[in-house]
A = this chain, B = another copy of it.
Amino acid sequence: MKRSLEQIEYREDTEALAKYAKALGHPTRIAILKHLVNQSCCFTGDLVDVFPLAQSTISQHLKELKNAGLIQGELKPPKIKYCINQENWKVAKSLFQNFFD
């Protein structure tokens, strides 16, 4: 992509908010998170049953949510249990709260 020569430096909280928002910017990921909030936790397999998407696609969405810090995976062999990352969840919550006044 053609980019501005001087890479723009935004305030840290601006970047953070954009990062969280981007992660939330897809209905499937919103739905996954809602599911996690309700169930408190769940496994990838469960989600594959809930959504008409390939396992690899679900996994990819989970990865993005994990990268954004909104969820975390706990090894629960032979499965992996995904939960909301409460700490960052609070951070995101307050970022959005402050943003909207």
Contacts and interface: CB of A to CB of B under 8 A. Distances in A.
A26 to B, nearest CB: 6
Interface stretch (A16-24, A39-47, A72-80): A16-24
- Chain A interface bracket (under 10, 10 to 19, 20 to 34, 35 or more): 20 to 34
**This protein's copies in its complex:** 2
A92 interface: yes
A95 to B, nearest CB: 10
Contacts of A17: 24, 30
Contact of A52 (B6, B30, B97): B6
Interface of A: 4, 6, 8, 10-11, 14-15, 17-18, 21-31, 33-34, 37, 51-53, 89, 92-93, 96-97, 99-101
